[in-house]
Amino acid sequence: MTISPTQSSFLLKRTHPDHGYAWIIVFCGFMLYLIVDGISYNLGLINSAWLDEFKESETATSWIGSIFYAIPLLTAPITAQLVENFSCRKITIVFGLISALGFIVSSFAGSVVQLYITIGLISGFGVSAAYVVGILSVERWFKNRRTFGIGIVSAGTGVGTSILPPLTQMLLDKLGWRITMFFLAGLVGTMSLIGFFITEPQWTDAENPRNSSNQQRITNLKQKLKKIFSHFGKINFVLLAISTFIIYATYNVPVYFMVELLKNYDYTDAASANYLSVIGFFLTCGMIALGYIGDISGKQIKNINALCVLICGLSISLMPSVAENVLTLAICCATFGFTFASAYVLIPKIAELIVGVEEFPSALGLNFFVQGLGCLIGPPFASTIYEILESWKLSFEICGFILGVSSIFAVSVRLKRQAQF
């Protein structure tokens, strides 16, 4: 889950240092993404333990992860407003503690419903600060090297997904999921420590958004809401939103249910965790490569995105068929990770080409909300297919097919402007 710099409302004229302490800010953002997305991509491993512990259905249990995935995206506008009113530092410190508290309380949970609240709502809301602050702080400190800085921050997602699954699986095997919750609480709690190092560049009184009057803030909010609703009248933006919704409703299948699928092929949980690491590594590679390609591709960016979506869906559908071959499955996971990176780095640029620079912040904010809705229904949708058809193979194949079909919406988008990044 990656939030663009334009999710913020801080498109203000001010001094951007572009050097020195700005790179400390980039490192802080990188670590925030590493921690939070590393944990997010781990929940599929813990989901297996929850199934054994609570004996609930696949669908009921999968809501834990889907709520956790969705809440940071759905609440990002709220978190961004809190950052505007207080500061990146204060919000990161407080929200890190909130998220850690959610994981600690989760270790004592007696039902999946309690986990919906503790992990899904409380911890999910807490980690929203990492996504907002990780990018917003870079936007404030950089101008000329902003895209490069944001690229480094976003790479934390892939790195976290590469290194945390094997460690988490080891803890699950040796200590159980309840003790593992304390480890994750300590890990996400380091958000607060990182927050102490996040400062802001020098503002003049006129530039500082926290010096705005309440009336000005209310007026700005009304203008933002008006712009957001106006995007529903743009057919090309609607097509992009439909494609985005489908992508985020289906991509979680290999991430969240890889362990359950591979149990049918006699893989250990530790071996399944290694495939998540493969996804994470190539997700990082995809962010770098597709980010560069997107910058030089002009209007062909929509076709590149559509091709990535099609291949991404195909890789998910093929995973059950090639699961018995270790190398071929690894290739499928690598392909999935690389092509899914398009959702992080290409879709924001396509949105800008559709609506233009001035309306880009509100359009992308709406697009993130659509992503959140997709994340919310994704795991329960896949697990419901499994429960009806009693086959993870068919669940993967159907979700992969649906994802591939969404490339039709992606390629149908008409672009009118040159990208301005």
pLDDT digit string (tens) for 235-253? 988 999 999 999 999 988 9
- Helical ranges in 268-391 per DSSP H: 269-296, 301-322, 326-340, 342-345, 347-355, 360-389
Q: In terms of residues, how long is the chain?
A: 421
* Structure confidence at residue 7 (pLDDT): 41
Show Cβ contacts of residue 150 under 8 Å, excluding neighbours closer than 6 positions. Answer: 4, 5, 135, 138, 139
Q: How confident is the model at residue 71 (pLDDT cuts 50, 70, 90)?
A: very high
Highest mean pLDDT (candidates 16-25, 37-46, 218-227)? 37-46
d(CA 169, CA 174): 9
Of 29-33, 216-220, 281-285, 415-419, give the lowest mean pLDDT range.
415-419
d(CA 373, CA 367): 10
Average pLDDT, the chain: 85
Q: How confident is the model at residue 49 (pLDDT cuts 50, 70, 90)?
A: very high
Q: Six-digit token pair at 5?
A: 């710099």
b/e per residue, 382-398, with b = 16+ CB within 10 A?
bbbbbeeeebbbebbbb
* Structure confidence at residue 8 (pLDDT): 43
- What average pLDDT does this structure show over 314-334? 96
- What average pLDDT does this structure show over 306-330? 96
Largest Cα span, the chain: 63
Model-level pTM? 0.81
Long-range contacts of 354-358 (CB under 8 A, 24+ apart): 354/234, 354/236, 354/237, 354/240, 354/413, 354/415, 354/416, 354/417, 355/231, 355/234, 355/237, 356/417, 357/420
pLDDT digits (tens, 9 = 90+) for 354-369: 887 667 666 767 777 8
Cα separation values, 184 from 72, 161, 270, 282, 386, Å: 17, 14, 18, 24, 29
Of all helices (H) and strands (E), which one includes residue 126? helix 124-141
Q: How confident is the model at residue 211 (pLDDT cuts 50, 70, 90)?
A: low
- What average pLDDT does this structure show over 284-305? 85
pLDDT digits (tens, 9 = 90+) for 378-408: 999 999 999 999 999 999 999 999 999 999 9
Q: How confident is the model at residue 421 (pLDDT cuts 50, 70, 90)?
A: very low
- What average pLDDT does this structure show over 93-102? 96
10, pLDDT greater than 50: no
* Structure confidence at residue 363 (pLDDT): 72
Backbone phi and psi for residue 142, each to the nearest 5 degrees, phi listed first? -125, 155
* Structure confidence at residue 214 (pLDDT): 63
Radius of gyration, CA atoms only, the chain: 20
pLDDT digits (tens, 9 = 90+) for 167-187: 999 999 999 999 999 999 999
164, pLDDT greater than 60: yes
* Structure confidence at residue 351 (pLDDT): 83
Domains of the chain: 15-211 (1.20.1250.20), 214-415 (1.20.1250.20)
